[in-house]
A and B are shown apart, each in its own frame.
Chain A
Amino acid sequence: MTARTRTSNRLLLVRFCALGYLAVILIAPVTLIFWRAFEHGVHPFWAAISNPIATHALRLTVEVTLIAVPLNTAFGILCALAIVRHRIPGMGLINAFVDLPLALSPVVVGLALYLLYGRDGWFGHWLTTHGVRVLFALPAMVLATIFVSLPFVVREVVPVLREIGTDQEEAASTLGASSLTTFRRITLPAIRWAIAYGVVLTAARSLGEFGAVSIVSGGIAGRTQTLTQYVQASYENFDQTGAYAASVLLALLAITTLLAMTVMRHGDRRA
């Protein structure tokens, strides 16, 4: 056997292992979901996702995402600028804290919010007496989602800001640009793809969030039930078609965001 065929055999083995791993861990389960959802044709699938409880869950999930993503995007950009561009005392600590949601289990986040906003919580008591309902309502679900999807924009933008340095911003300021003009015309275009990646990741995380939200939402069908919770509820009620159909919906949302990301990567390379 020549050296070349030995290398190509080794490459084949590596490829086989990688693809096999992906097939068993990722592709098989997702395919199975699709297969079970469409097992009896499109009609039962359509019936399952068009029932009012399912559509409400979908709408609620999208609503929560649409609130959480812009807030985290704005915060993420500001936070990244503060970390990279301004030497503020204690910034190192903030930098470390930004990663907390990645390390902390969402269930713990949910529980913490529960303790804070619950009837006897620090804020909860005051809010309840003033007639503001946070827990088991949209505000708590948004708060939980914001918490778990917080780091993505910051983590995408920080390295790009570091890489571009301050030269271009300083040049703009000597040419007469105010800080706002410099940000809008120099900094923002330089970090736009990083922001876009961050937004896609934030959206994907928000759409799929289950643990934290399920603790603070109460999961009341047709009122505070998100799509992920709907999947769980249907499954527990032996409504397998409903569970699979909603799962397919979630998978499709995820695939769409991933596609968006791939398209952006492509654009990025051309820029």
Chain B
Amino acid sequence: MAIAARNVTKRFGDFVALDDVSIEVKSGSLTALLGPSGGGKSTLLRVIAGLERPDSGQVFISGKEATALAPQKRGVGFVFQHYAPFTHMTVFDNIAFGLTIRRRPKAEIEKRVEELIELVQLPGLGKRYPSQLSGGQRQRMALARALAAEPEVLLLDEPFGALDARVRKELREWLLRLHERTHVTTIFVTHDQEEALELADEVVVMNAGRVEQVAPPRTLYDEPANAFVMSFVGPVNRLGDTWVRPHDIEIRAEPNGSTSEAQVLRIIRLGFETRVELVREDGEHLHVQLTRDEAEQLELARGDIVYVRTRRERTFSTASA
């Protein structure tokens, strides 16, 4: 195990940010902490980095207990949500910081920083100041800075949160490639389920200071442990006690015995995908996802009467969400 947290609890006044949380992260893996804001994922990351001291519980890094260790002695690289660039230093000096304070020889520092500048694709920008960089460049500078001292663990707090959609997507792919090259054990915090499913080998779903489920993306989507995970990871329809994904609702033009009648309320066409909002005869509203071809074959129009059947519904014994 590269990182383990055991029974970690952290309170801020009356607010319980982490409630007896335990996780284990495999060496070399890329793990996402996924959950709504205020769920405790950033606090957990900060506890692992040593920026917050847990009220109880233990933290292990590379098999050694680190609970009482100061952040500077943990060998972790941390990328902050707003990157925390050293504003009075150039890009070069920012990246070199971890090496400079370790008094490494100048030639070695220069070589390493040049490598990193290459790695994070900021060639020729070494002499700039952070204020002269774009959001995406600043974020990559922060990554290079965190990687410079060769940390055993890389921790990213909402790494793409402050970027626009296109840059986000580029950086995600880039981070994936970077991880494939360096294999540094990485944990990142996100509230975006798509980001977690796309990047991570393993996803830790957190809510209200507790771990709801730890699983690979596929398992998380197909076999959610509870109603919260089902509704947080991917879109969902709730029909009484059962839950069903929008793409697991079949629409037919004719009834076939197991279907029920519904009326089309709205149709939204989003390129490849078509979203249909229906109201069933029992009054339940349904959101359905179809491919464009399926929608065209059905010749759906607003106000039409159609027949629906749900597949792969799930029920959870204790609906907590």
Contact = CB atoms under 8 A, between A and B. Distances in A.
Given A175-B101, A175-B145, A176-B101, A170 B88 contact: no
Interface residues of B, number: 27
B104 to A, nearest CB: 11
Interface in A34-51: none
A186 B51 contact: no
A174 B148 CA distance: 12
Interface stretch (A111-119, A177-185, A197-205): A177-185
A96 interface: no
B209 interface: no
A181 B72 CA distance: 11
Interface in A162-201: 167-168, 170-178, 181, 185-186, 189-190
A181 to B, nearest CB: 5
Contact of B98 (A170, A175, A189): A175
B70 interface: yes
A171 B72 contact: no
Given A175-B97, A175-B98, A170 B87 contact: no
B84 A173 contact: no
A168 B78 contact: no
A183 B152 CA distance: 25
A172 B97 contact: yes
B146 interface: yes
Contacts of A271: 88
A223 B78 CA distance: 60
Q: By CB atoms of chain B within 10 A, which of A168, A176, A181, A271 has the most? A: A176
A173 B80 contact: no
Contact of B87 (A172, A175, A190): A190
Contacts of B97: 172, 175, 177, 185
B278 interface: no
Residue among A171, A177, A189 with max Cβ neighbours from chain B (10 Å): A171
Q: How large is the interface on A (under 10, 10 to 19, 20 to 34, 35 or more residues)?
A: 10 to 19
Contact of B102 (A176, A185, A186): A176
Interface string B19-58: 0000000000000000000000000000001110000000
Given A167-B84, A174-B51, A174-B76, A185 B70 contact: no
A167 B71 contact: no
Instruction: Choose among A171, A174, A190 the residue with the greatest number of B CB atoms under 10 Å from its CB.
Output: A174
Contacts of B74: 174
A177 B84 CA distance: 15
A174 B154 CA distance: 11
B72 A186 contact: no
Contacts of A185: 97, 101
A176 B88 contact: no
A168 B147 CA distance: 16
Contact of A170 (B77, B84, B145, B149): B84
B314 interface: no
Given A168-B84, A170-B71, A171-B80, 14 more contacts: A170-B51, A170-B78, A170-B84, A172-B97, A173-B51, A173-B71, A174-B77, A174-B78, A175-B98, A175-B101, A175-B146, A176-B72, A181-B101, A186-B86
Interface of B: 49-51, 70-74, 76-78, 80, 82, 84-88, 97-98, 101-102, 142, 145-146, 148-149
The 10 closest A-B pairs by CB, nearest first: A167-B84, A174-B78, A175-B98, A171-B84, A173-B71, A189-B88, A176-B72, A174-B71, A173-B72, A177-B101
5 contacts: A171-B78, A175-B149, A176-B102, A176-B149, A185-B101
